[in-house]
Structure 1
Amino acid sequence: MVKRINQQSIVLIGMPGCGKSTLGVLLAKALAKPFVDTDLLIQEQMGATLQDFLDVHGHMALRQQEERVVLISDLENKVVATGGSVVYSSAAMAKLKRCGVCVFLDVPPEELYRRVANFSSRGIASAPNTTLEMLYRERLPFYRQYGDYCLRVNGQTPKQMIEQLLELLSVNSPL
């Protein structure tokens, strides 16, 4: 990478429930960077929760909103937690990758089931009648394609995950 980690964004991608928002806040604190959660930006722009928007407009409209918000937002030199479906947009991913490095937080489906009890009401941009496991299999190739790094997440505490992530990114941990 041409830029140093401390001068670029760190973008977290992965399935709903993998810990992007939780880790993002902790990572931003550890690196003294601003934190951005694109799901919150989307909700702010739409004036509705993701689920309310989905109920009215459907999953493809939510994906379009996600792409639009990523493309218009200032995401330079920040820690960015993305929505899980951002990987469907090559334009959004191209922008995110220009901003910095993408880290795929890989959580096995059985762990996701424990973490995401509210799959049908969580505001997840998926086609009707799609299960969490089906969505994982559908998105996995995209996460692997766009992830510069992969952090396997399974049973670690958030602090352990931050330490692993900082080590993966070769940043000295101030924790």
Structure 2
Amino acid sequence: MTRRPSNIVLIGMPGAGKTTVGALLARRLGLAFADTDRLIEHREGQTLQQIVDTHGYQTLRAIEARVLTQLDCRGDVIATGGSAVYSDAAMTALQRHGVIVHLQVDLETILSRVQDAATRGLARAPGQSLTALFAEREALYAHYAEFSVDASGDDQFAVADRVIATLTRAHALPSPLA
């Protein structure tokens, strides 16, 4: 890697552990932590599920894209919503100052972790199963990820360690930490 990013950006399916692992990474590396789903909810004054129920999943994706393209973070671990990868503009903005890490989880693990799919605020078409959503998104995660880290195990501390080790080997830790 020739550039030194100032952020670590986590992408992946709902249930991959982006928020949990992101908070651990931020604490371990002395970085700030930003959860873009919480940022959207704060800015909109509604939960993700309320946005989907009231305006539809496409509106949630548009809001997410707008928030991500306007995000101005340096020295952060950023946990994105699972649908961030639907917006090329958002991903380009995140790549500008960050290294993109895909927390890769197998479908079986996602299905066991995401028990609240009907109320979680997922940006998916009406009636679309979690299995179909997984199949649709995996190619997008692979397209945007600079690194993929296995996050299928239950130990989020081990996942955080794997992310740190992967970025250290690639000389891709954020600049103040390099």
Indicate the TM-score class for this superposition, using the shorter chain for normalisation: over 0.9
Partner of 2:168: 170
TM-score (norm 2): 0.92
Secondary structure of 1:159's counterpart equals helix
Residues 1:65 and 2:63 aligned together: yes
1:75-122 Cα shifts (integer Å, max 9, x gaps)? 222100000000000000000011111000111111001100011110
> Cα distance, 1:156 vs. partner?
4.2
1:24-51 Cα shifts (integer Å, max 9, x gaps)? 0000011101100000110011000000
Partner of 2:82: 84
Percent identity among equivalent residues? 42
Secondary structure of 2:127's counterpart equals coil
TM-score (norm 1): 0.94
> Cα distance, 1:153 vs. partner?
1.6
1:76 and 1:97 mapped to 2: Cα distance?
12
- State the structure with bigger RCO (CA 8 A, min sep 6), 1 or 2: 2
1:47-88 Cα shifts (integer Å, max 9, x gaps)? 000001110000000000001111112122210000000000
Partner of 1:125: 123
Residue type at the aligned position of 2:4: R
Relative to structure 2, which stretch is displaced further, 28-37 or 70-79?
Answer: 70-79
Asked whether the equivalents of residues 24 and 81 of structure 1 are also in contact (C-alpha less than 8 Å), the reply is yes
Partner of 2:42: 44
The unaligned stretches of length 5 or more in structure 2 are 172-178
Matched residues, number: 172
Partner of 1:11: 9
Partner of 1:114: 112
Root-mean-square deviation over aligned CA pairs: 1.7
